[in-house]
Every structure is written in structure tokens, then in C-alpha cells.
Structure 1
Amino acid sequence: MICFLRSCPHATLQEPLFATEKEKPMSKAWLASHLHLLCQTCGLPPDRYTTHSLRIGAATTAAASTSVATLKLMGRWSSSAYERYLRPGAKDILEAQKAMGAL
């Protein structure tokens, strides 16, 4: 994020953090269409990646280093709904497999 912000030294607090090439705030539709194109360009199946995937990834990443209260605030969750977005990391899966193998 620091590198991104340094690449936009002209940005002000009144401007959107992420903008389109026309310097407009990104809409969900704009992001979805560009994510689809990016997946195609990278050889990934675009039907498997959505804007929802980004929310899941962000929640999972944030959960590893922040409190539940902060995570809920960041995701605008007022209930335990955030739990549906969290995915176990490879380390968590490996630890669970080791624990099961020790039984």
C-alpha cells in the first residue's frame, strides 16, 4: 500500500483511494469487469474469481493479524457474519492434519 500511495503523490484525502483510468471512483461493476479481464489475461478461469473472492481474501488475511473487533469494523459487519468469509491458511490446514494424525 505504501508503494501504491507513493506512486500517487498528487492524490488528496478528498479523492478516491482507488480510481478508474478516468479518475472516477471504482464501481463494483467496473471492478468486476476488470477482474474478469485480468483473470483471462493471466490464464485463470474468470468464472472462479469474483469481487466476493477479494472480500474473502482480505478478511482471511486481516484475521491473521488483527482483532475481531477491527476485522468487523473493516468489513462493516455488526454480527458474526464475518466468520463465513474466513478461510483456513495452508499452515492451519497442515497443523490440523498433524493433530489428526497424532490421535
Structure 2
Amino acid sequence: MSGPSRWRFNPVVLDRDPPALELVSKLLHLHFRDEKTKVGGDALQLMAELLRIFVVEAAVRGVRQAQAEDVTLVDIDQLEKVLPQLLLDF
């Protein structure tokens, strides 16, 4: 990789973003069998941070794959190529 990277990430701090925490909470509750299941605040923040790291890592790996293929735009093809290893790593 030569020269400065043109890819910049501005990660959202999810524990200070109530709409993001609400979204993570709703996503979790979609998969609970018992609708009375509750998620504590610490668990919700931890899950939000895990999802943030997962998405950032997917983006970084997609960029690296695009650079290896000498393309300037990351699209679904690059993400599909990095997804199997990413899922194994998480």
C-alpha cells in the first residue's frame, strides 16, 4: 500500500448513542424465544461494541480485498470474499 489511504473511518460511540443502543436492543430481542427476556445495560453496551468492531473489521477487510484486486470501490463482491474468514475469526 503506497501513499496515504483515502479510506477514513469515523466510528460511532455506541454507548453514548441512544438510537444505536435501541437498534441493538431490538435486534437482540428479535432472536429471543421468550419475549419477557431482558438485556441489562452493560450487556447491551457490550453487544453494541462487538457489533461496531465487527462492522469496522468487515469494512477494513473489504478495503484490503479491493486494494488487492486493484479496484477503487468496495462492493458486495469484496465483502463476500472476506466474510467466511471474518465469521471464523469472530
Q: Structures share a fold, TM > 0.5?
A: no
Structure having the higher Rg: 1
Q: Which structure has the higher relative contact order (CA within 8 Å, separation 6+)?
A: 2
